[in-house]
Amino acid sequence: MHEATKASKVSFFDYIVIGGGTTGIPIATTLSANYSVLLLERGGSPYNDANITNASNFGLYFFDTSPDAPAQQFMTQGVPNARARVLGGGTSINAGFYSRGEEQFNKDAKLTDVDLIQESYEWTEKVMVFGQDVQSWQSAVRAGLVEAGVKPDNGFSYDHLVGTKVGGAIFDENGTRHTAADLLQYANPNGFSLLLHATVHKILFKHKGRSKPRAYGVVFEDTFGKKHVAYLKRRKNNEIILSAGALGSPQLLMLSGIGPKDQLDALNIKIVLEQPFVGQDMADNPLNVLFIPSPISVERSLVQVVGITPFGSYIEASGGFNIIFVNLSDYQGYTPEMGGFIYEKVNGPLSKGDLKIANRNASDNPLVTFNYFTEPEDLQKCVKGIETILKTFNSEAFSNYKLANMTDKDILDLNMKIPYNLIAHGNTSTSLEQHCKDTVRTIWHYHGGCHIGKVIDDEYKVIGVDSLRVIDGSTLLNSPGTNPQASLLMLGRYMGVTILSQRIAGEK
Ligand SMILES: Cc1cc2nc3c(=O)[nH]c(=O)nc-3n(C[C@H](O)[C@H](O)[C@H](O)COP(=O)(O)OP(=O)(O)OC[C@H]3O[C@@H](n4cnc5c(N)ncnc54)[C@H](O)[C@@H]3O)c2cc1C
């Protein structure tokens, strides 16, 4: 692991992987077994940064607006959001909940080898996934969800099962975060190079004498603003793999000349391939939150329990701190330490937006829209999700939790302070539909922009050019499972093994 400032001006590798994140690290690590690999990450190291490594510091990096902060903020249609800018990618700044994707995801993602899917999950889990110690707040949510009809209680499981369960986490029993960077312990150190603070600005293409343009190198910049070029060695089957995430990958394709003509023309970018689908169908799963104040402190927890409803709403909870960064002014007298959150995520979603490049600087955010709740089906899932949260809150199991911890006056106070409760009892003119729209926020599971069948083929190769694949959250049609990191880590390992084994077989 070196700073890009130390890199030579020109270098040569069999594989160049752009983006040292959730998907990019398992790919690069796996390919290094037999080939030379350069992994380029625009951010710094997650190690020795207590804000990243310590679970109870979750989200502090959202307040760091320096150019090298591990989370880069962006805003879409009034909803604040964030993307990773650090080795480990999303796994270095996320809430850590780990739950495998559903069968349908494997089909959509064209992953057909069931044994390899299982092995790839286990490869990750061995290094960076842990069980969770569920205490009273999360236990109350779990029992309340089951009583509210999110059945059966599936106990602890990594699998995607309808009902209520406890999932895994990338935090160990001491609350220490294990990121995708921990998977680098699997890498073959011979011929593997990882550069930090290496921002890729462009993928280079050769056209001459070819039926299709071929990717053959990348230009990246170090923190001094110095440009470096890394080329693919002249060997058949060498490739560049773009894993810069749902915002980074479509952005970099466009900056390199692959994208909608009008956008490339507007910024005077030379067209390599006109591709109207790059940046299309961006989606973010809407999240709506219920804060439950408590007169006593609630134990701190990130996501531990999830209710997987049959109607497509996923219900999760956290407690003891404001991980969702809601405005608590409605709950005077209560602090996030004195309360818990129950929230629901709409799966899919069906509502889509798009991504456009704002300028030619790869370090800046592109412009993104998600158009939350433009599809009525998403709105109905939200309404049903909130109704289920209310049932959970009003369940006997939850009453027992309240009774054990609060006085009668506290409970009365609490019920008065929950506007959603009032809504459910018909005491307000606001409909739940309107409430969903008014209080929408993100669970940071945005995806899309380089879809299978549109921008890439079933092998994740960019359609219309040679020697370039995109493998990361930008390829997803829907957010997999309840939370996507497990599926993306698996996808990285799966594709790494697939590329490697096909190539070795072909070269024999
Ligand atoms: C705050 C937050 C909380 C979340 N909570 C959870 C959770 O609890 N559970 C869960 O399963 N999921 C969670 N997620 C979602 C999950 O972490 C992401 O979906 C996943 O990490 C995305 O993986 P990726 O490989 O597509 O992109 P990333 O992991 O973001 O990787 C992309 C990498 O590319 C780098 N990059 C981008 N552009 C360039 C460039 N031009 N040059 C060089 N490098 C570049 C980035 O710095 C980044 O490291 C959360 C996400 C966030 C942001």
Residue span of the structural domain in which 232 resides: 1-130+175-283+352-371+445-508
Distance 400 CA to ligand 1 centre (A): 39
Q: Is the CB of 362 under 6 A from ligand 1?
A: yes
Q: Is the CB of 303 under 6 A from ligand 1?
A: yes
Q: Are 131 and 123 in contact (CB under 8 A)?
A: no
22 marked among binding-site residues: yes
Helices (H), 172-282: 245-255, 261-266
Q: Are 391 and 267 in the same domain?
A: no
Q: Are 213 and 120 in the same domain?
A: yes
Which of 405, 422, 439 marks a domain boundary? Answer: 439
Q: Are 74 and 40 in the same domain?
A: yes
Query: What does the pLDDT read at residue 334?
Result: 64
Task: Please report, for residues 6, 119, 137, the alpha-carbon distance to residue 221 in angstroms, rounded to integers and kept in the order given.
Answer: 12, 36, 47
Q: Which two tokens stand for residue 356?
A: 């456009």
How far apart, in whole angstroms, are the C-alpha atoms of residue 250 and residue 243?
10
> Residue 451 maps to which CATH number?
3.50.50.60
23 marked among binding-site residues: yes
Q: Which of 178, 445, 447, 451 is catalytic?
A: 445
Which of 439, 474, 489 marks a domain boundary? Answer: 439
Q: Are 331 and 199 in the same domain?
A: no
Q: Are 428 and 311 in the same domain?
A: yes
Burial class (CB in 10 A: 0-12, 13-18, 19+), 310: exposed
How far apart, in whole angstroms, are the C-alpha atoms of residue 202 and residue 219?
5
Q: Is the dihedral of CA 265, 268, 273, 277 positive or negative?
A: negative
Q: Are 13 and 37 in contact (CB under 8 A)?
A: yes
Residue 73, strand partner residues? 82
Report, as ranges of residue numbers, the positions in the chain whose pLDDT lies below 70. 295, 324-336, 403-430
How far apart, in whole angstroms, are the C-alpha atoms of residue 263 and residue 271?
10
Task: Please report, for residues 166, 167, 247, 296, the alpha-carbon distance to residue 389 in angstroms, rounded to integers and kept in the order given.
Answer: 17, 19, 32, 21
Task: Please report, for residues 21, 455, 495, the alpha-carbon distance to residue 28 in angstroms, rounded to integers and kept in the order given.
Answer: 10, 22, 10
Q: Is the CB of 302 under 6 A from ligand 1?
A: no
Query: What does the pLDDT read at residue 116?
Result: 98
Helices (H), 109-213: 114-128, 136-147
Q: Give which of 245, 253, 260, 236 is closest to 467, Cα–Cα.
A: 236
Q: Are 296 and 230 in the same domain?
A: no
How far apart, in whole angstroms, are the C-alpha atoms of residue 394 and residue 367?
41
Distance 334 CA to ligand 1 centre (A): 32
Q: Per-residue pLDDT tens for 416-440? A: 455 444 344 444 446 788 888 988 9
The rounded Cα 337 to chain-centroid distance in angstroms is 26
Task: Please report, for residues 232, 304, 384, 486, the alpha-carbon distance to residue 476 in angstroms, rounded to integers and kept in the order given.
Answer: 27, 24, 25, 13
Q: Are 279 and 362 in the same domain?
A: yes
310 marked among binding-site residues: no
Q: Which atom of ligand 1 is nearest to the CA of 95?
A: 8
26 marked among binding-site residues: no
Q: Are 138 and 80 in the same domain?
A: no
Q: Are 208 and 114 in the same domain?
A: yes
Distance 192 CA to ligand 1 centre (A): 22
- Token pair 């030579």 is found at 8
Which of 439, 456, 471 marks a domain boundary? Answer: 439
Q: For 164, list phi and psi in degrees, rounded to 5.
A: -110, 140
Query: What does the pLDDT read at residue 322?
Result: 74
Q: Are 185 and 272 in the same domain?
A: yes
Residue type, 5: T
Q: Which atom of ligand 1 is nearest to the CA of 85?
A: 47
Residue type, 154: N
Q: Are 117 and 259 in the same domain?
A: yes
Q: Is the CB of 128 under 6 A from ligand 1?
A: no
Kind and range of the H or E element at 237? none
End-to-end CA distance of the chain: 32
Q: Give which of 447, 445, 440 is closest to 280, Cα–Cα.
A: 447
295 marked among binding-site residues: no
Task: Please report, for residues 32, 35, 195, 232, 503, the alpha-carbon distance to residue 188 in angstroms, rounded to integers and kept in the order given.
Answer: 5, 9, 16, 19, 18
If one residue of 38, 125, 219, 488 were mutated to test the ligand 1 pocket, choosing by the most ligand atoms within 8 A of its CB, it would be 488
- Tally of structural domains, the chain: 2
Q: Which two tokens stand for residue 402?
A: 């309240």
Q: Is the CB of 214 under 6 A from ligand 1?
A: no
Q: Which atom of ligand 1 is nearest to the CA of 201?
A: 41
Query: What does the pLDDT read at residue 330?
Result: 54
Q: Are 214 and 181 in the same domain?
A: yes
Active site includes 445? Answer: yes
> Residue 336 maps to which CATH number?
3.30.410.40
What is the CB neighbour count within 10 angstroms for residue 389? Answer: 27
Helices (H), 300-395: 376-393
